[in-house]
Amino acid sequence: MPIKVLLCSLLMLLPSLVLGQQEAPEEIIVSGKQPGPPLWKVINGEHVLWIFGLLSPVPKDMVWESQKVAAVIAQAQEYLAVPSVEPNLPMRLMLNPVNVVRGIRLMKRLSRNPDDATLEEVLSPDLYQRFSALKSQYFPENERIELWRPLVAGETMTGLVQRKSGLTSNADVTKEIQRLVRRNRNIKRTEIEVEQKIEGNYRTLAKRAETFMEELPPALELACFTAQLELMEQDLDGMKRRANAWAAGYVDELRSIHVPFEDTVCARIFIESAETEFRLAQSLQEQADAMWLEAVENALNTNQRTFAVLRMNDLLSDDGLFAKLRARGYEVIEP
């Protein structure tokens, strides 16, 4: 789960605050109408499950041709959403505008280094030089990032570099799928969500966030920033090729391009943290994945046609959810 999402879940903050100013992309990869990936297929007798693979980032200027997916959704009796963990904050906090204002102020303070040190002061000379090279190329006018601590600056840097490189999130693709599902008025919608309840008043949650940032080991935070920097230096071209392959429907190329799906160094910050909500997130995702598998089995025993959405990693990896379906004895057909 991204850093900004975890912090915003805890503090009721605006995600755009962490991302900072947005830069217009300069370099364009594939654009125009694109077919997107073909569908994966799972068969149980006469019952069929079609799976669409989501990838992020994807090409910013493409237009997804969704006719084939639309035809499958139109004939489906059930839609299975991506298994996810959804934070659930007390409603009284969410509806209090004073808490939002206080949360924004707190986030600004926690985003800075102790004693208001700059990135140049907390990074090694070599690391800062490498960061400056990326900054001058992709976001030269963003000076606010220089005031942020590595944990926040690293994720902000990643988002800015991807956008300037013609990449964006899969939000538009997801919205189109939701629109197509709504068009089928007879379809059963099954959301695979596990709620992550976050209890406490504003003062309690703010104190937990402050404690998390204060106790964050500097060496681990710098290791996370370094890993994100290396990802942008060495794997950006791989991300572009992967995004292009997804858009064009080249599954073999998708399999051949290795791009890290999750920065394990940064994930350690939350897994090893004493902060309960962060440590709980991973186990809750595993619970959501198990719920998805159970929902698939029910669908394959009940529906003639089912449409589902999965993360591309779960379709391609040897230990993903698609592989687990194969291990359960279902007939699977990969594109």
What's the pLDDT band for 219 if we cut at 50, 70, 90?
confident
Q: What is the DSSP string of 237-303?
A: HHHHHHHHHHHHT-HHHHHH----SS-HHHHHHHHSSS-HHHHHHHHHHHHHHHHHHHHHHHHHHH-
Lowest model confidence (mean pLDDT) among 21-25, 44-48, 75-79: 21-25
Contacts of 205 (CB under 8 A, 6+ apart): 10, 11, 12, 93, 198
What confidence score (pLDDT) does residue 280 get? 61
What's the pLDDT band for 209 if we cut at 50, 70, 90?
confident
Pairwise CA distance, residues 293 & 216, whole Å? 36
What confidence score (pLDDT) does residue 59 get? 93
Three-class DSSP category at 201: coil
Residue 93 has pLDDT above 60, yes or no: yes
Q: Which residue has the higher pLDDT, 49 or 285?
A: 49
Task: Choose from 196-205, 243-252, 278-287 the range with maximum mean pLDDT.
Answer: 243-252
Domain limits at 301? 3-333
What's the pTM? 0.82
Pairwise CA distance, residues 79 & 49, whole Å? 10
Residue 1 has pLDDT above 70, yes or no: no
Total domain count, the chain: 1
Task: Choose from 4-13, 73-82, 282-291 the range with maximum mean pLDDT.
Answer: 73-82
Pairwise CA distance, residues 111 & 15, whole Å? 13
What confidence score (pLDDT) does residue 207 get? 83
Contact 196, 87 (CB under 8 A): yes
What confidence score (pLDDT) does residue 19 get? 34
Residue 95 has pLDDT above 90, yes or no: no
Enter the DSSP assignment of 35. Answer: -
Residue 190 has pLDDT above 90, yes or no: yes
What confidence score (pLDDT) does residue 17 get? 33
Q: pLDDT tens digits for 281-295?
A: 667 788 899 999 999
What confidence score (pLDDT) does residue 14 get? 32
Residue 149 has pLDDT above 50, yes or no: yes
What confidence score (pLDDT) does residue 91 get? 64
Task: Choose from 1-10, 128-137, 213-222, 311-320 the range with maximum mean pLDDT.
Answer: 128-137
What confidence score (pLDDT) does residue 28 get? 43
Q: pLDDT tens digits for 162-179?
A: 999 999 999 999 999 999
| Average pLDDT for 58-68 | 92
